[in-house]
Structure 1
Amino acid sequence: MTKRLLVISLAAFMLLAGWPRFFIFPPPITSVYGDSAGPRYTGTGADDATVGTVTWSSPTNIYADTNYATAALGKSAVSHYLKATNFGFTIPDNSTINGITVTIDRREGNTQAAGGIKDNEVKLVDDTGVILSTSRADTATFWPTSDGIVSYGGVSDNWGETAGFWTSAKINDLDFGVVISVINTKVSGGGAAEDALVDYIQITVTYTPPQPDLTQIHYRWRNDDNNEASASWRKDEDTSMNRTKSVTMRLRVEISNEGFADSSSTAYRIEYATQVGGACGGGDESFAAVPVTATSEPFDIQDSTNLTDGASSTNISSGLTDENATFVAGQVKDTSNETSGITLTTTQFTEIEYALQANTNAVTGTTYCFRVTNAGSTTYFTYSAYPQWTVGEPIMDQKHFRWRNDDGGETSGTEDAGIIRPDTSDVTNNMAITGSACSGAAWCTLDDSVTQPTAGDIADHAAEGTDNELVTVNTGTIDLSGGTVPSIVVWLYATGSENVDLFANDPTNGQTTCASNASVPDPGWVSGTCTFASALSQSDRYQYLFHSLRTSK
């Protein structure tokens, strides 16, 4: 009972294991494990008379490990091709074919006395049925007299074809296969005839499955002067930058999946390296993560008031060129150097923006390169554009200047604020500042809405106006023709606390002082009396009077 159970169990095991092979027809679909497909049995066996003179009988017997295809060869005879195709491969599209291995179980039927069976040719057949030129035949070794397995090619052997010739589509085609021709090396003597017997033919294909290609394809430097959508651009796309230390800059990087497979979830980390040679990316740079807080590193991540770490990036139309069909939101990073997981299909791209600075550890005049990785791994990454930052000297930009009078100390001198002239269209109520030094200053902006005060009701106007107003009163005392020595009162309405000098100017007298270092309330009126040294002539019409304003600084 125990022996019977053992026999039954062994038979069941053999059947489940796929042995003997004559139970398997048509050929099974072999699963793909890692980067290898096969070994797979042929699905079609045939005699091909392209070479030789001897026909193979029963060529379909090579489907499995059972019976034989046979060629009966006389002395020095060469067989036709025994052609094996239809291996039923299902290698994924866009895989890279690394190598092809052919396995043949064969023997000769008689003895090796005075010679025997040897390989003549072993060649591959492409997807169009063409027998290729490269032969991997072992023309030096006799076939054994009992079943023996021999392999041709290998895991990295493309059988003489250039890289890229073999594709998954060619391997999967029913016409892909192999041919073998043999020769009987016996040339004389009795028993010169020999039989060549082939039991089965298998092919194994090693390949690299289709992979994502996360290409760092564009970059652009930005100023840290606004939010993710509105910050200004420091440089054009894919243009390196020269910038001094201790200035927060923003780097935007575009990643496009240019491969043939979707990426897994990828954590994009920003890294830097000192440039070696004339360009980044020569393989001789040593990259390291940009730290959040630097110790000896030349760069660190900067917390920007304009960004929120981890917030989604948007596809800014004025930013980077879209290099794939669909944008996937990336992230902005200003308190850490690595995003959370982002997945890209073969039609998607993303953009990531980092805030960082060159710190005091950076070397002036040195160029640094930047890249992103998957938490330190460059697997599936391609770098077609490397951001570059050359650390420069601080740029001293002379932006402003101002002239001063030599009439006081560094903190108490005065400066000319401009010339205030009456408007010729309305000399009663309109004055205009024409001096450039007064341009844009709130305390010397005229407001025409302030009514000209009179000698009798100055108090009525003390609260009027929100800007400065310069007016004159008792202008009727000016004798333009009688030759008297007149005086006028000049009033200034100010909205800033200043000490001012007021002057009147005319062609006859030149400059006449009306008030010196007069204190201006905030807001309020200040006045000065201008007493001319000489009478004004008819040519000194009122509209030709103008007043100079000097403020203390």
Structure 2
Amino acid sequence: MKKILALCAFISFVPFIGFAQHAGPNTPTGYSTAGTGAGWSNLSGVLAIDNNPAYADLAQYPTCNNFLCFHSDTAYFTHFGFSIPDTVTIKGIKLDILQRVNSPGGGIHDSLLTLLVNGAATGNNKASAFNWLDTPTNQTYGDSTDLWGATWVPSQINDTSFGFQYQLTNTSYDQAASVDFLTMTVYYEIPQDTSTAGIVSQTSSPWQVAMIGSQLTINAYSTVLNSGSQISVRDLTGKVIYSANYLSGNNRINTLIDASGWINGIYIVSIKPVNGKAYQQQVVLVK
């Protein structure tokens, strides 16, 4: 039996607004190191919380020679496997790192944390001066509106070379620093409709845009519909899964759209009159 879930639309034409979405959290599958500091070991240990972490043994400050060093090599984490639609706008990037030191003395903290594009550091250094704890602690860098001081396009995020570089510094005695898990989440927005022509509001009887069973029901009445309109339906990645032109001629749209072949989820319905701004509504399909 199909459930009925709908978000009904009422009496307003509005400019088409964007919908915030996110990709991830994803883990990296590319790892490398460079530099003259203490080496990292087991970098793939960041893939799961399993007490088998990536780690670096750091010497007491300020020791640094061919055998020991108070700071780590730079570790590079890439290949996050993002596949973000080309038409969206990147709004924020968040990194979560599960950190721990093996003794309560403290003194270990970040010294370098920047994003990478084609191997080049890009944007702000998000290294935190907060000393790591001797219990596993998640540290978050960035958020849904933080672009790290740079401008991003989806092709950069989707590239296998996209990732970040990470270096640690010890200001205390010899101790190891470990990272047991890390993920990256990218926040984006489906683009806006730039239409600006025509009417911006209407006060006729309420419109119905609803998913009833496996049919999308649209009942609408307004004088702006008299010259025709286009109905389109997109999923949350921005992919158009239905599009049709309607030449009503009587100020009205009454139609049923078969959604039986669509997967469960949220869809964005757009009604764009020839002589008016786009109207949009979210609907939810649950089979």
Q: TM-score, normalised by structure 1?
A: 0.34
Q: Which residue of 2 aligns with 1:36?
A: 22
CA distance in 1, matches of 2:95, 2:228: 53
1:47 deviation in Å? 1.6
Give 1:90 deviation, angstroms.
1.3
Distance 2:31 2:254 in 1: 51
CA distance 1:121–1:332, change in 2 (3 Å): same
Residue of structure 2 in register with 1:75 after alignment? 60
Does the Cα contact within 8 Å between 2:228 and 2:273 map onto a contact in 1? no
Task: Give the structure with the larger strand fraction.
Answer: 2
Aligned residues: 208
Highest RCO, 1 vs 2 (Cα 8 Å, sep ≥ 6): 2
Q: Please, which runs of 5 or more residues in structure 1 have no aligned partner?
A: 1-32, 187-191, 217-269, 272-286, 292-300, 302-308, 314-327, 343-348, 353-371, 380-553
Aligned to 1:63: 47
Residue 373 of structure 1 corresponds to: 277
5+ residue gaps, structure 2, are 1-18, 62-69, 205-222, 230-243, 256-271, 282-287
Per-residue CA deviation, residues 247-283 of structure 1 (Å, 9 max, x unaligned), is xxxxxxxxxxxxxxxxxxxxxxx63xxxxxxxxxxxx
Match 1:105 to one of 75, 98, 105:
98
The Cα shift of 1:132 comes to 2.1
Does residue 120 of structure 1 match 2:111? yes
Give, in whole Å, the separation in 2 of the partners of 1:118 and 1:341.
62
CA distance in 2, matches of 1:177, 1:96: 18
Q: Distance in 2 between matches of 1:143 and 1:98?
A: 29
The aligned residue for residue 143 of structure 2 is 154
Partner residue, 1:137: 127
Aligned positions of 1:469-480 closer than 5 A: none
- Write out per-residue CA displacement over residues 56-83 of structure 1, whole angstroms, 9 at most, x where no aligned residue: 1222222222211111111222212221
The aligned amino acid for 1:97 is I
Map of 2:82 onto structure 1? 89
Instruction: Output one character per residue of 1:189-232: Cα deviation in whole Å (capped at 9) or x when no partner.
Output: xxx2111111122101111134554453xxxxxxxxxxxxxxxx
Give the distance between the partners of 2:166 and 2:24, measured in 1 at CA.
20
Instruction: Report SS of the residue matched to 2:99.
Output: strand
2:158 aligns with one of 164, 172, 176:
172
For residues 380-436 of structure 1, the C-alpha deviation after alignment (integer angstroms, 9 at most, x for no partner) is xxxxxxxxxxxxxxxxxxxxxxxxxxxxxxxxxxxxxxxxxxxxxxxxxxxxxxxxx
* Structure 1 residue 110, shift from structure 2 partner: 2.2
Q: Deviations over 1:41-100 (max 9, x none)?
A: 111222232xx6221122222222221111111122221222111111111121111100
CA contact (8 A) 1:109 1:194 kept: yes
Please, which of 133, 154, 169 is the counterpart of residue 183 of structure 1?
169
Give TM-score scaled by structure 2 length: 0.62
Does the Cα contact within 8 Å between 2:195 and 2:277 map onto a contact in 1? no
Q: Aligned pair in 2 of structure 1 residues 329, 172: CA closer, same or farther (>3 Å)?
A: closer
Alpha-carbon deviations, 1:327-360, whole Å to 9, x = none? x966586xx6x45389xxxxxx9845xxxxxxxx
Question: How far does residue 35 in structure 1 lie from its aligned partner after superposition?
Answer: 0.4
- Partner of residue 207, structure 1: 188
Q: In the aligned structure 1, how far is the partner of 2:186 from the partner of 2:59? A: 35
Matched AA of 2:166: I
SS in structure 2 of the partner of residue 45 of structure 1 = strand
1:289 alignment partner in structure 2:
202
Q: Deviations over 1:497-535 (max 9, x none)?
A: xxxxxxxxxxxxxxxxxxxxxxxxxxxxxxxxxxxxxxx
Query: 1:133 Cα deviation (Å)?
Result: 4.5
Give, in whole Å, the separation in 1 of the partners of 2:147 and 2:20: 19
Within 5 Å, give how 1:414-429 maps onto structure 2.
none
Q: Which amino acid aligns with 1:204?
A: T
Matched letter for residue 57 of structure 2: A
C-alpha RMSD of matched pairs (Å): 3.4
Deviation at 1:157, TM superposition (A): 0.3
Structure 2: which amino acid aligns with 1:82?
A
**Amino acid aligned to 1:144:** L
Q: What corresponds to 1:340 in structure 2?
A: 253
Distance 2:124 2:228 in 1: 56
Instruction: Map 1:246-265; keep pairs closer than 5 Å.
Output: none
Report if aligned partners of 1:102, 1:203 keep a CA contact under 8 Å in 2: yes
Q: Does the 8 Å CA contact 2:227/2:274 hold for their aligned counterparts? A: no
Give the share of equivalent positions with the same residue, in percent.
27
Contact 1:83 1:180 in 2 (8 A): yes
Cα distance, 1:312 vs structure 2:
6.5
